[in-house]
């Protein structure tokens, strides 16, 4: 019986390790994809647009990293104080994101779509990671 429990713990540890690898890989993939899109956009648009596309991707990667760190920091201790702190940090995060969007709209109103395009690179990265994870699950079941 104890042998089965140790096998379960090892299995759980290895899956957590795989999840941690994916979570570490996502910001890098966001940066790479936004860089590729920014370089490709140089053929059609000006360099400032390409810079905004890459800046949007970089901001998305930083936002994802910050979100990952705060979730792991605040959700482990289940206390009311931790919940209040988490809500405060998420509120600050939302205000900062909105502030950056308003600054871009105010100073570079024509470039907001480029920034949003770069910021949105997180969506295809998540979709690819989900497809990879689902394909691994299907192989595991077969």
| pLDDT tens readout for residues 70-98 | 777 666 656 666 667 777 777 888 888 88
Domain region containing 128 = 30-141
In a domain, 105, yes or no: yes
91 CB neighbour count, 10 Å cutoff: 10
How far is it, in rounded angstroms, from Cα 58 to Cα 23?
A: 16
Helical packing angle, 2-41 and 122-141, nearest 10°: 140
In a domain, 54, yes or no: yes
What tokens appear for 27 in the block? Answer: 């910001």
| pLDDT tens readout for residues 100-117 | 888 888 888 888 899 899
In 3D, which of 40, 51, 68 has the Cα closest to residue 126?
Answer: 68
Asked if residue 126 lies in contact with residue 26, where contact means CB atoms within 8 angstroms, the answer is: yes
Mean pLDDT value across residues 34-42: 96
Give the model's pLDDT for residue 127: 93
Tally of domains in the chain: 1
In a domain, 4, yes or no: no
Q: Which residue has the higher pLDDT, 62 or 80?
A: 62
In a domain, 13, yes or no: no
In a domain, 97, yes or no: yes
In a domain, 47, yes or no: yes
Q: Looking at 14-127, which runs of residues are DSSP E strands?
A: none
Model confidence at 8, pLDDT cuts 50, 70, 90, reads very low
């Amino acid at each position: 019986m104890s042998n089965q429990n140790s096998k379960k713990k090892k299995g759980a540890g290895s899956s957590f390790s795989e999840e941690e690898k994916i979570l570490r890989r996502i910001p890098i993939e966001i940066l790479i994809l936004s860089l590729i899109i920014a370089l490709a956009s140089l053929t059609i648009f000006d360099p400032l647009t390409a810079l905004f596309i890459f800046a949007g991707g970089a901001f998305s990667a930083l936002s994802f990293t910050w979100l990952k760190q705060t979730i792991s920091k605040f959700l482990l201790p289940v206390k009311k104080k931790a919940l209040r702190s988490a809500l405060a940090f998420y509120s600050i995060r939302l205000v900062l994101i909105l502030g950056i969007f308003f600054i871009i709209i105010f100073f570079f109103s024509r470039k907001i779509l480029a920034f949003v395009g770069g910021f949105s690179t997180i969506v295809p990265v998540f979709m690819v990671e989900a497809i990879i994870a689902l394909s691994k699950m299907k192989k595991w079941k077969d």
